Chain A
């Protein structure tokens, strides 16, 4: 039996609803006096448990706002659990948004380094992998122009190249393949399949059910922060699509 790479037990994640955000002192004291300082909470993930084994590829499906991205953020360590635990045994390459760390005024060359360091690599590591990133992103000609002049597809290519150049234990992917042309999408899918066959665990969020079925072997259906069904990909996806058509 393969070991669990991610263990999620009774996870609950709390959100503060934006309308109740108190961000200035005056309001704070008014609310304090009126005794309204209660945090208006919203549970984005509610009592959620899931075990993922090494080498599996999981898709998260569900309607918008069901908590898929929140779950990915919790696994990546961006959001801390309110209750429950998450245990992750391995390195994570998060692709929640491609090129999240890009600075528009820096050149592509500078951004590759910056983004790699943000993802937790060392400078030396980046120097070693620089060429393969540039090659994958196909941006040799534009290396020294500021990234604000890049098209969104080019930025996505570069972001994908930086995020996937390592062979992480876990790859987290949140609808990032929506941009980019068909050729690039295909290239990305191939790269992801390559990583999967190399033993990487994938957690994938997409609304494209065909893509999900092609890339993943398991799926979890989330609704309003609760786990509805988890298991084999076709079974779960079919149940999910059926519920949408009602």
Chain B
């Protein structure tokens, strides 16, 4: 029992450090660029415009409000993809520090995922702009979006910790993960409707791809202005928590050996 109390105390002790690392990431990301933080909004907006021009004709009949549909899918996917890729290399890039000072090592992946989440919330500004332009009606359900982001955040923390420790021992995982996320992107209905897929594949996407759950929940809140189905929320949280536990256990098992391999 005592060890858990100690662990939780240590975590709270280092929360200031996590905050500082997050603010460092955000500061450095746009330092010396004229538009600064605006890029977090402009970037997804520009990509959305291009992708809408390319794809909206293809799927127009099936999807109402394509721009919003696409933007939500991309925002969530990019958050999970970018933040886990960053967390994956966070242990390796901070090796100098890990060798010289004692810090709980999980702060590095955690900080990367957290800065990804803050960036993701900024970029929701783009969604707001598009909603205004396309005259999408707004409902109170929109305010529930933090619960969806939270699920994606917990999921990413787990995945990021798993990848972060695995890469220390096997550098190959960096390259495998890149290919993996490309496949993941195409197996997530970001720019196409789910119905476009063959039925068997639909089953795989719905039940085995947590990102489908997060993106769909978000779309239901914004586009359908309704509560997502209960089973979808439950499955989203179950995925997130199982992944978090998996990440924590694998990380804990190997963290003492990091110093021998980095």
Binding site for B on A (CB under 8 A): 14-16, 21, 23-26, 28, 73, 76-80, 92, 94, 96-97, 100-101, 103, 105-106, 110, 113-114, 117-120, 122-123
Contact = CB atoms under 8 A, between A and B. Distances in A.
Contact of B101 (A14, A26, A78): A78
Contacts of B261: 16, 21, 23
A119 B102 CA distance: 8
B64 interface: no
Contacts of B100: 78, 94, 96-97, 100-101
B256 interface: yes
Given A15-B260, A23-B171, A120-B13, A77 B102 contact: yes
Nearest to A122: B16
A75 to B, nearest CB: 10
What are the 6 tightest A-B residue pairs by CB atom distance, in nearest-first order?
A100-B100, A77-B102, A117-B17, A16-B260, A123-B16, A80-B256
B97 A76 contact: no
A94 B27 contact: no
B16 A78 contact: no
B3 interface: no
Contact of B28 (A76, A96, A105, A113): A105
B20 A78 contact: no
A23 B170 contact: yes
A114 B24 contact: yes
A170 to B, nearest CB: 12
Given A26-B172, A28-B170, A100-B97, A123 B102 contact: no
Contacts, number: 73
6 contacts: A16-B261, A23-B171, A78-B101, A96-B100, A100-B101, A105-B31
Given A114-B20, A122-B16, 8 more contacts: A23-B261, A24-B171, A78-B99, A78-B100, A78-B101, A96-B101, A101-B97, A117-B17
Contacts of A14: 260
Contact of B96 (A100, A105, A119, A120): A100
B203 interface: no
Contacts of A100: 96-97, 99-101
B101 A76 contact: yes
B30 interface: no
B24 A106 contact: yes
A118 B101 contact: yes
A14 B256 CA distance: 12
